[in-house]
Structures are given as C-alpha cells and as structure tokens.
Copies of this chain bind each other. A is one copy, B any other.
C-alpha cells in the first residue's frame, strides 16, 4: 500500500502548473487577468501568429485554466473558476500579481478599444 505522500492527489495542481509553465501562456494569463479578450487581441498583444495563439489557448483550455464565449465570428477567452481549492488559490495569487501592473491594464483597455467584434482589423 502506498505511503501518504505517494497517495497524495497532486493531479489538479500538476495539471495547472504544467499549463502555466510556459512564457507565452503566462503572458496570456497576465492579459486575461484584466478581463476577457478575443483571440485576435492576444495575437496582436503578444505578436504571435494565429496558429500558435490558438494552440496555446487550447492548452490552457484543456487544463481548465480558461473558458470561452462565442460572439458571432469571434471567440472571447476568460480565466475559468478553479473547482480545486488549491488551484484556485494559486491562480488567484498569480492574477493578483498581474493585476498590480498598470502597463498591462492600460494595454488591455487599449486593445478592447481598438479591436474586437466591431473593429477587429
């Protein structure tokens, strides 16, 4: 029989950290901490091509880090509630840090003003 440590269920946190262990995906989370954005916003803000952006978002989606909402042809991404308490706390702490960055807050506001369903491109 396994010892307590070997039996510890660390799968939720492991899944979360695996998804967050990438610079691009962390930057996506940093932006989404300030509110929902659509794919074209992220693509522009991070200077990524469409394929890479969508694939990285799929990783975050499969890990339960983000959720989507479709609005016409556009898909909006936002941070998802974490059902696991430990994951919730980790993600909360991370976002608290990102939220404290005015430059990012300004950028997100700017993105929403200049692009989106009404003016994406």
Binding site for B on A (CB under 8 A): 2-6, 8, 10-11, 13-14, 17-23, 26-27, 30-31, 45-47, 86, 89-90, 93-94, 97, 101, 103-104, 106-107
Contacts and interface: CB of A to CB of B under 8 A. Distances in A.
Contact of A3 (B13, B47, B101): B47
A50 to B, nearest CB: 16
Contact of A93 (B2, B46, B93): B93
Contacts of A19: 21
Contact of A23 (B4, B10, B46): B10
Contacts of A20: 13-14, 17, 21
Contacts of A13: 20, 26, 94
Contacts of A14: 20-23, 26
